[in-house]
Structure 1
Amino acid sequence: MSDSTSPLLLSQSDSIESKQLPPPPPPPSLDETIELCIGDFSWVQFLQAFLVSFAWVFDAQQTFISVFTDAEPTWHCTQLGDKSCNSVSDICQLSKNSWSWDFPVHTSIISEWGLECASSLVKGLPASSFFMGCLAGGFILATLADTSLGRKNMLFLSCLMMSISSLLTILSPNVWIYSVLRFVNGFGRAMIGTCAIVLSTELVGKKWRGQVGTIGFFCFTLGFLSLPAIAYINRDSSWRTLYFWTSMPTLFYSMLVPFFVRESPRWLFVQGRTEEAVLIIKSIASTNQNISRISFSNLCFERETWNVDLYSAIKVLVERNWSFRRLSAAMVAGFGIGMVYYGMPLGLGNLSFNLYLSVTLNALSELPSSMVTFFIIGTLNRRSSLLGFTILSGICSVMCVLAGKVSATLQIGLELVSFLSACTAYGLILIYTLELFPTCVRNSAISMLRQAIVLGGAISPVLVAAGRKNGFLMFGVFGLVIGICGLFVVSLPETRDRTISDTMDEEEYKERVAFSCDNIS
């Protein structure tokens, strides 16, 4: 009897031990080898990261340019003693001879094309078209930077398309052509931020990855800040002038990218282009001492064989449970963040504040946001920080509804805190997502996240239009959405001080090891 039961007991014991033991290790990772070669940091790496991140300046300008070009100008009564005409009158009920714009008619598309009595749908069509273009561009171009084009070429093409479409916008004869060109502009702009942050962080070691990721946020702030300055200087000029002064520098920058920006060595290795990767590593490494001791020709690792067509990266992200779970949670949180991040600046015209001053204050609030992100990224956990800022933004946004009935100053103060928190959460979730996914699908994952962020931005103009009559439909909905969506980050794993992976198998191994350790403990 003992003979018959001992094999059963033995098999049960082996089964228990096999469940407790971690799975076999994956193929060797490139991460440690590249880290050893690149070193901690060098000025060449910094200049490369800054040059790549500078694309965010032009990204910010095209994102928020409609705040000025599509604004509804103020007006005044022209006939003294006309009691039927005052500042609270419905302009559409007045005769054309009884009122006039405070500025020349060509300062805004609303006044130039006579859209003051058009529906909110028509007035908001250019801004909505821009965000719809961002969605279409992000979906169609999502994986090109991970597959055929790479980070550098995608950045060049995106900047070039955005600059040319912005320049052509000057020729718009009506709101319909203008909206189409804004769609094309958003389509081209869709991949700029994604490629910039991925490429800049893949050019440095893990010690400086978070800090380098924030350079783009500082550049975005610079671009946002430049808008009210350019608009104020040209306040009596045509809205077309604003597009000219923002498109020409972008065109010049895009011409510099092919000659001065270097491709990601991590992406080149994953694509099997080892010789190119080695040359780039040698050119950006802080010292060549480590490189001379490593034989790259003998470096063996398992390259991804599934990455063969345009949407294979998105397909594999959805097929694997752990990556689908991470991507879904990040995208839901990104949707709420995007609604506040893009919606707040677009809704500044609803406040009883000078438009130039309010836009400047919002742009300036991105500066401390970038500083906060820079300093906390290396000290605090990603998950808890992101959760805290989304909740804070939601609370302040809801409070704006009540503050508007008490004090305009208090309302703009709460709006700034809400926007600052959303800006910080935006930066955190981008860096967090960078660390959640391996090199082979990182650009695609960031693209999908930004799709969710832009989707939130695409819905926000509708809420802003509705918020002109009912503040809760803007501030209240903004606050509830970002607060609830932010809760989804609780399901994500912490990535602080963790090395990034290069292949899906490597990341899956880490996931399984962490799961096994949790079960044992």
Structure 2
Amino acid sequence: MSSHKKELDDLRSPLLPLVGTHTTTIHGQPPLETLSVDQMLTKYCGEFGFWQFRHFVLTCMAWALDALHTMVMIFADREPSWACEPNSGCVWDSVKSVCELEPGSWRWDGSEGWSTVAEWGLVCGQKYKVGLVQALFFCGSMIAGGVFGHLSDTRLGRKGSLMIVCLMNIIFGLLTSISPSYWIYVVLRLFTGFSSGGVGVCAFVLAIEPIGPSMRGIAGMSTFYFYSTGIALLSGIAYIFQSWRFLYIASSIPSIIFLVFMLPFISESPRWYLVHGKTDEAMKIMHKIAKSNGKNLPENVYLVLEKEARSCYQRSTVEIGMDEVITGSVLDVIKSPLTRKRLILLMVINFTSACVYFGLNLNATNLETNIYLSVLLNSAAEMPAYLLTAILIDRFGRKPLGVGTQWFSGIFCLIGSLMGSQGNWKVLRTMCGVLGIFGMAGTYNLLYVYAMELFPTVVRNAALGSARQVGQIGAMLVPFVVVMDASLSFMVFGACGIVGGILTLFLPETLNTPLYDTLNGMEDETNKLPMLA
């Protein structure tokens, strides 16, 4: 009878020890401590030590490559200076455009191979072709945002996707340099846009996911330093290699260096391993992080998804060995009312921000100033914007900063639309453009940090890729605006900045919130804190 009672008592006892108790597990070992990635980084591994710093720098080098392949069009597709042919009756300073002159009365001032415009005669009635090739580049980027956002969340992972897009960038960049005709050039730029469109999404998430919560905002805001550095580097490369064909070769070489000498030393995201059931691989990376940072990660600590880490029960050693694969797609984001609202708002804000950011950069050709200096000034204006927003992001939060930077950019763009293109007015308009870049650069970078915190790991890249896709639609449209008129361009960019700031007011604040791993975990926490909805 007593033995039967003992068996019943054993059945009533919990199979898993309660968190915080001193109950021992099998063979007298201490209870396993199960933590989420954020908890483990904070408690044992270090939030931003030497390992994260090295990994962050190496991964973010890809942003410079993205800038090279994207902004190279500013120089390759520029309209060179021209001069009158001797004895042609042409008066250079009395006309604003070669379209006002008779054919044969003028010539390009320098080699026709300096730009695609000069080589293929993309002026006057053919000028729309400049906007077309630039728009199709961003069309390729738009498609890639969704494709590689999904692949990096599922089959390929963050690092695998980054390797593929960098390899494609090299191939298409080099092939572009030998384009025999305009239409082949268009197709190759479309493919280059497709490969470049996956770089930003994969590199950003891979760089930020292993960083602890208290340092994530500052680190995220620092990624675009590499992008603006890439633009500044491009100005120097374009000054040296003024032929557009040599320029495409020179701008592809850094991608080769990155693929061969840097990518092998970059690790896959432990969060990606975790949600795909590869817990052992995730734990190996966490141990490497702790060791490199001079920390100690105890053997009895184990990674779990954030929802399980908040559970009132601990896992046993047997259960932890049963890894569970959790997947998601953009359809799951749309099905959830919480994430659907966030995704729609983020898409539209990305659209307006891309219009302003890429538009102001491409508009450098319309400012009638030294193009190399204009591009260099734009890239230089971005860097203090990143520093300022990095300092303020954890003080004021994501939403107030996003609203402020977009309105700052929009206001100066509207002021620029009122400036003329002669004398001192031209200088003032240039400065308005620089200040517009200053504000929107901070916004564009902030949106990546914001998007990471608005969506869980299982669909993070898919959501970010979808938002980036819509942003690329805006980038597709601005080349046609840029080739028309500088005043009109500034007016459009100003309106986009104001509207984007208004829409940001409807997003939740994510300051000091964890990076969730699953949709269920995010929804459960949001139900407890309605302000996150």
TM-score category by the smaller chain?
0.7 to 0.9
Instruction: Confirm or deny that 1:255 pairs with 2:260.
Output: yes
Q: Helix, strand or coil for the counterpart of 2:418?
A: helix
User: What are the within-5 Å matches in structure 2 for residues 92-491 of structure 1?
Assistant: 92=99, 94-235=101-242, 238-256=243-261, 258-285=263-290, 286-295=293-302, 298=317, 307=327, 312-404=328-420, 407-467=425-485, 471-472=487-488, 474-491=489-506
Q: Helix, strand or coil for the counterpart of 1:71?
A: coil
Deviations 1:305-361 (A, max 9, x none): 662xxxx41010000000001111111111111100000111111113221111111
Q: In the alignment, which residue of structure 2 is the partner of 1:13? A: none
Deviations 1:225-265 (A, max 9, x none): 01111111223xx2111111111220221234552110001
Deviations 1:29-52 (A, max 9, x none): 553235434223221210011100
- Structure 1 residues 151, 81: closer, same or farther in 2, change over 3 A? closer
Deviations 1:137-157 (A, max 9, x none): 122332111111110101111
Contact 1:333 1:482 in 2 (8 A): no
Q: CA deviation at 1:500?
A: 1.5
Q: CA deviation at 1:423?
A: 0.4
In structure 1, stretches of 5+ residues that fail to align are 1-26
Q: Helix, strand or coil for the counterpart of 1:100?
A: strand
Q: CA deviation at 1:410?
A: 1.3
Contact 2:63 2:226 in 1 (8 A): yes
Contact 1:394 1:478 in 2 (8 A): yes
Q: CA deviation at 1:293?
A: 4.1
TM-score using structure 2 length: 0.86
Contact 1:28 1:301 in 2 (8 A): no
Deviates more, 1:208-217 or 1:341-350: 208-217
In structure 2, stretches of 5+ residues that fail to align are 1-33, 304-315
Letter matched to residue 176 of structure 1: W
Letter matched to residue 356 of structure 2: V
Deviations 1:383-409 (A, max 9, x none): 011001111111111111112267112
Deviations 1:472-515 (A, max 9, x none): 2x111111122112211112111112222111111101111112
- Structure 1 residues 258, 83: closer, same or farther in 2, change over 3 A? closer
Q: Helix, strand or coil for the counterpart of 1:52?
A: helix
Deviates more, 1:504-513 or 1:483-492: 483-492
Cα separation, 2, equivalents of 1:205 and 1:295: 17
Cα separation, 2, equivalents of 1:409 and 1:104: 29
Deviations 1:154-193 (A, max 9, x none): 1111111111100110110111000100000010111111
Instruction: Identify the match of residue 500 of structure 1 among 501, 509, 515.
Output: 515
Deviates more, 1:497-506 or 1:80-89: 80-89
Cα separation, 2, equivalents of 1:396 and 1:252: 39
Contact 1:339 1:460 in 2 (8 A): yes
Cα separation, 2, equivalents of 1:50 and 1:234: 28
Contact 1:336 1:486 in 2 (8 A): no
Letter matched to residue 464 of structure 2: I
Contact 2:145 2:201 in 1 (8 A): no
Q: Helix, strand or coil for the counterpart of 2:286?
A: helix
Letter matched to residue 272 of structure 2: W
Contact 1:153 1:258 in 2 (8 A): no
Contact 2:83 2:108 in 1 (8 A): yes
TM-score using structure 1 length: 0.88
Cα separation, 2, equivalents of 1:220 and 1:160: 19
Contact 1:206 1:499 in 2 (8 A): yes
- Structure 1 residues 354, 275: closer, same or farther in 2, change over 3 A? same
- Structure 1 residues 35, 187: closer, same or farther in 2, change over 3 A? same
Contact 1:77 1:86 in 2 (8 A): no
Q: CA deviation at 1:278?
A: 1.1
Q: CA deviation at 1:80?
A: 4.8
Q: CA deviation at 1:94?
A: 3.4
Cα separation, 2, equivalents of 1:303 and 1:321: 29
- Percent identity, aligned pairs only, is 34
Cα separation, 2, equivalents of 1:293 and 1:173: 63
Letter matched to residue 337 of structure 2: N
Cα separation, 2, equivalents of 1:219 and 1:333: 23
Contact 1:373 1:424 in 2 (8 A): yes
Cα separation, 1, equivalents of 2:277 and 2:118: 56
Letter matched to residue 426 of structure 2: A
Count, aligned residues: 483
- Structure 1 residues 258, 364: closer, same or farther in 2, change over 3 A? closer
Q: Helix, strand or coil for the counterpart of 1:412?
A: helix
Cα separation, 1, equivalents of 2:496 and 2:434: 18
Q: CA deviation at 1:457?
A: 0.9
